[in-house]
């Protein structure tokens, strides 16, 4: 029987092979093969008799929308959201090629996107397949969106989608999007994310001979700022180290570039103090922070005009929605979707850890900005995540950027993947049949 347990059934083998197929499509930034992914997903939709629409808010960047109509279409719908792009890979550092979707003897599936987030996209599809096979009929309409460009900020994908008239017509009530794997037995879930602020500070000062000590040089002015930023960084990091805050709850600041000096044929001119010096920072602001005081700190301490400094943001995502509320999805009984989500996971035999703030950015904020509840969830427990593992280059805002966060690597075990499909079955069932007040006035009277 131990052999039987380790050999997947035919159905499981087919599920895994469909996942492999999706993983094998090269959708790496900056040149993702989007149409190949969309064609494959449309073939899946056909096999499930789902309606499919390819939306193209920007040419060459298709967003595939699938629909399973509900029997009570007036009720707000469920959006099962995923992105189709993946980050680039340094191929030589991989044990198995990133688009091989190789499965080793332990059942671990190796591919770029195995965790982020082709797993989730296909798990939605498989969960729908199983629910359909069981004869389940949703009350609410269920939409599956497969969107481009999350890895570069989602401006031509989720953002345009969430702001579109088409989106309004979907009457979405709740969004499921990606989370992170977790190494322990509890699943991770995310109710918010930190907003990226990409800050450049620039110092100017009088140029002068390298042998002269004088005040107000560009380098000295910049270094004072860097010292101040480092003190702030340490204060935030100490709260994590001391166990007072989770990673997503503090403001992170990391210096990502330094630019100064006068070039010469042999490198830099060594006896000249330059008149300009610049540094760039990747700042992540939790929705619980006070963005105004951080902006004040930047203007007064990190780049004060009094020290001949200027600053600009290459990218600055707000922490507020249109009504001025924080981009936070409630995780208490005031949000019925959260309660349903928790219960559904438990019913399917899963355990949920304390909900967290996602440390990086996902597409969820584009939906939270519309005031919608969005839950970040990738059902992968007992799965290592490689945070801060190695750097990857990709295009963002036309700039070559370096991410210091990398949770796309490694592998996903096939049993964990299959378990995740059952978890989604349970969640989709609960969401799609939910009616406010239980749809039953009497049951309310009993209370
Ligand atoms: C603002 S574009 C970058 C989005 C990216 N998302 C996942 O890594 C991130 O750096 O968080
Ligand atoms: Zn992702
Ligand atoms: Zn990613």
> 54 vs 41, 172, 288, CA distance in Å?
11, 18, 37
Residue-wise pLDDT tens digits, 170-182: 999 999 999 999 9
Instruction: With a cut of 90, say whether residue 247 has pLDDT above it.
Output: yes
54 CA to centre of ligand 1 in angstroms: 24
How buried is 105 (Cβ within 10 angstroms: 0-12 exposed, 13-18 middle, 19+ buried)?
exposed
Name which residue leads in pLDDT, 432 or 408.
Answer: 432
Ligand nearest to the CA of 84: 2
Q: How far apart are CA 89 and CA 227, in angstroms?
A: 34
- What atom in ligand 1 is closest to the CA of residue 407? 8
d(CA 436, CA 389): 44
Asked whether residue 321 is marked as a ligand-binding residue, the answer is no
CA 416 to chain centroid: 20
Per-residue burial over 432-441, b = 16 or more CB atoms within 10 Å of its CB, e = otherwise: bbbeeeeeee
Closest listed ligand to the CA of 378: 2
pLDDT above 60 (res 198): yes
* 68, pLDDT greater than 90: yes
Nearest Cα to Cα of residue 378 among 338, 329, 419, 339 = 419
Give residue 435's Cα distance to chain centre. 29
Give the number of the atom of ligand 1 that is nearest the alpha carbon of residue 315: 1
Q: Give me the phi and psi of 246, to 5 degrees please.
A: -85, 165
Distant-in-sequence, close-in-space partners of 235: CB < 8 Å, separation ≥ 6 = none
With cut-offs at 50, 70 and 90, classify the pLDDT of residue 394. very low
**With 50 as the cut, is the pLDDT of residue 441 above it?**
no
Cα 65 to chain center, whole Å? 19
Q: What does the DSSP 8-state code read for residue 180?
A: -
**Binding site annotation covers 151?**
yes
Q: How far is the CA of 362 from the centre of ligand 2 (A)?
A: 6
Name every protein residue with a CB atom under 6 angstroms from any ligand 1 atom: 151-153, 196, 315, 360-361, 396, 403, 405
Domain ranges of the chain: 2-193+326-439, 197-285+289-316
CB 68, CB 50: distance < 8 Å: yes
Contact 221, 367 (CB under 8 A): no
Which residues, chain by chain, have CB under 5 Å from ion ligand 3?
116
Residues 83-131: tens digit of each pLDDT = 999 998 887 777 788 899 999 888 888 889 998 999 999 999 999 999 9
Separation CA 362–CA 154 (nearest Å): 8
Confidence of residue 384 (pLDDT cuts 50, 70, 90): confident
Active site residues: 85, 150
Domain 2-193+326-439 classification at class level:
alpha beta
Res. 391 pLDDT band, cuts 50 70 90? very low
Ligand 1 nearest-atom number relative to CA 396: 2
pTM: 0.89
Any idea which architecture 197-285+289-316 has in CATH?
2-Layer Sandwich (3.30)
State the distance from the centre of ligand 2 to the C-alpha of 22, rounded, in angstroms.
15
Q: Are 210 and 252 in contact (CB under 8 A)?
A: no
ipTM above 0.95, yes or no: yes
């Amino acid at each position: 029987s131990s052999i039987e347990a380790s050999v997947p059934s035919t159905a499981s083998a087919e599920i895994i092979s469909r996942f492999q197929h999706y993983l094998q499509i090269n959708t790496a930034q900056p040149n993702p093969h989007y149409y190949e992914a969309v064609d494959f997903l449309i073939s899946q939709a056909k096999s499930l008799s789902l309606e499919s629409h390819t939306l193209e808010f920007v040419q060459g960047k298709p967003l595939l929308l699938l629909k399973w109509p509900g029997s009570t279409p007036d009720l707000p719908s469920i959006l099962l959201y995923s992105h189709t792009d993946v980050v680039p890979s340094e191929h030589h550092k991989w044990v198995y090629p990133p688009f091989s979707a190789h499965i080793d003897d332990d059942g671990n599936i190796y591919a770029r996107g195995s965790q982020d987030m082709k797993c989730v996209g296909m798990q939605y599809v498989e969960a729908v397949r199983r629910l359909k096979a069981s004869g389940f009929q949703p009350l609410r309409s269920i939409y599956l969106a497969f969107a481009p460009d999350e890895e570069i900020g989602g401006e031509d994908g989720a953002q345009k989608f969430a702001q579109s008239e088409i989106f309004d017509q979907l009457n979405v009530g709740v969004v499921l999007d990606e989370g992170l794997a977790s190494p322990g037995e509890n699943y991770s879930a995310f109710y918010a994310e930190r907003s990226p602020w990409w800050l450049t500070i620039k110092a100017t000062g009088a140029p002068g001979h390298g042998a002269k000590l004088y005040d107000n040089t560009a380098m000295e002015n910049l270094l004072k700022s860097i010292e101040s930023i480092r003190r702030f960084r340490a204060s935030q990091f100490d709260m994590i180290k001391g166990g007072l805050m989770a990673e997503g709850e503090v403001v992170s600041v990391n210096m990502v570039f330094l630019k100064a000096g006068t070039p010469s044929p042999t490198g830099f001119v060594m006896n000249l103090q330059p008149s300009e010096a610049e540094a760039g920072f990747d700042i992540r602001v939790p929705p619980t922070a006070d963005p105004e005081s951080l902006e004040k700190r930047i203007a007064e301490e990190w780049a004060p005009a009094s020290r001949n400094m200027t600053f600009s943001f290459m990218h600055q995502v707000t922490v507020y929605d249109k009504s001025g509320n924080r981009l936070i999805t409630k995780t208490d009984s005031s949000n019925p979707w959260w309660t349903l989500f928790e219960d559904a996971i438990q019913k399917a035999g899963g355990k949920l850890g304390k909900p967290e703030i996602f440390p990086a950015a996902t597409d969820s904020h584009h939906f939270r900005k519309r005031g919608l509840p969005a839950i970040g969830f990738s059902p992968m427990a007992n799965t290592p995540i490689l945070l801060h593992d190695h750097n990857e280059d990709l295009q963002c805002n036309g700039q070559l950027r370096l991410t210091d966060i990398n949770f796309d690597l490694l592998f996903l075990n096939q049993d964990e993947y299959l378990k995740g499909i059952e978890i989604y079955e349970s969640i989709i069932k609960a969401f799609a049949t939910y009616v406010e007040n239980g749809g039953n006035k009497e049951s309310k009277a009993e209370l």
